[in-house]
Amino acid sequence: MDVRQLRYALALAEHQHFGRAAAAVGIAQPPLSKAIAQLEGEVGARLFDRTRQGVFPTAAGEALLARARRIDQELTAAAHDAQRAARGETGSLRIGFISSALLSMLPPVLRRFRAEHPEVRLQLQEMVTVEGSRALVAGELDVIICRGTPRGRGVQQLVSVAVSRDYMIGVVSTSHPFAGQQRISLDQLRSQPLVIARPEDEPAVIKTLRDVLPDLGAWPCVTHAANAQTIMGLAACGFGVGLGAQDMRTTARPDTWMVDIRPRVALPSLTLAFRSEHHSPSLTALLDVVAQTCPVARSALMRLPTQSCDDSAGPALTAYKR
């Protein structure tokens, strides 16, 4: 027996008439009558009584119909689940991110994604850019948010999209001589102890610092910190001028003072990266949310090659592909 026969039997039980049942399933009456006869032959029992008052299930028919209804419900549910997965409404995503992504870029993206796709399971892992790049290339992650373009073996397999434009600012304690000033110069930094990211955590940021302060390595007092919150905390304790992305302003604390640096020093952008051959509707749905949430990413996503996005892309990415 097959699903088609079971659905014909369900229609016949519901309408109690061969003609009406055939019309309900969209076929002529003779094929439906033949299918029911074949089903009875396969089962080896009469499933329907044909009477002048109508067509009614026998005891054998009722037993078969009970299971047929469950089978039909499961098949309908399976098709519904498959359609939802194809639209990125279910599934899972493994996301690696650097801590500074939580300062401003990532929270609105995740809030919107979770609101629009509540049944997609998100596995989030904080990691530095180098670790995230390796995990993404190895297939251990679906997407990463890192600082600058990923580097290392296998990164040619990745698609990278800038999601923010960053520049460097300073943070000092409220008792520091710079407190109250709106801006300071790079030359003024040369006389100050600094609190900066660890090279292994933010290699792109450290490279930028060394480009604008080439004698940085010879300075007697440089303290390294693991993340923006630690940079701010150490600066508040008087360890020196903390240097980081302008997004540090989002976590300002009452015992610190933020100061601009002139000339402005551009930092490598926060970057979203994923494997170019991805076929995950959930990832495509995330990219769509990023496109709608991050203006910088929106223009970059318009330039993505169409093969980087599958055919179940959301409204924004679908429009970009055209």
* Token code pair at residue 22: 């055939």
pLDDT (tens place) for every residue of the chain, 322 residues total: 788 999 999 999 999 999 999 999 999 999 999 999 999 999 999 999 999 889 999 999 999 999 998 888 888 877 776 676 666 565 889 999 998 899 889 999 999 999 999 989 999 999 988 899 999 999 999 999 999 888 888 888 899 999 988 899 999 999 999 999 999 999 898 889 999 998 888 888 888 988 888 887 667 688 889 888 999 999 999 999 999 999 999 888 999 999 999 999 999 999 999 998 877 888 988 999 999 999 988 877 766 654 443 444 444 443 333 3
Q: 90-161+275-321 belongs to which homologous superfamily? A: Periplasmic binding protein-like II (3.40.190.10)
Greatest alpha-carbon pair distance for the chain in Å reads: 104
What is the CATH class of 166-267?
Answer: alpha beta
Side chain identity at residue 32, one-letter code? L
**Strands 119-126 and 90-97, how do they pair?**
parallel
Q: What is the pTM of this model?
A: 0.68
Domain boundaries, the chain: 3-81, 90-161+275-321, 166-267
* Token code pair at residue 79: 């098709």
Side chain identity at residue 36, one-letter code? I
Q: Let me know if the fold of 90-161+275-321 is the same as that of 166-267.
A: yes
Name the CATH topology of 3-81.
Arc Repressor Mutant, subunit A (1.10.10)
Which pLDDT does position 210 carry in this prediction?
A: 87
Indicate the SS3 state at residue 98.
Answer: coil
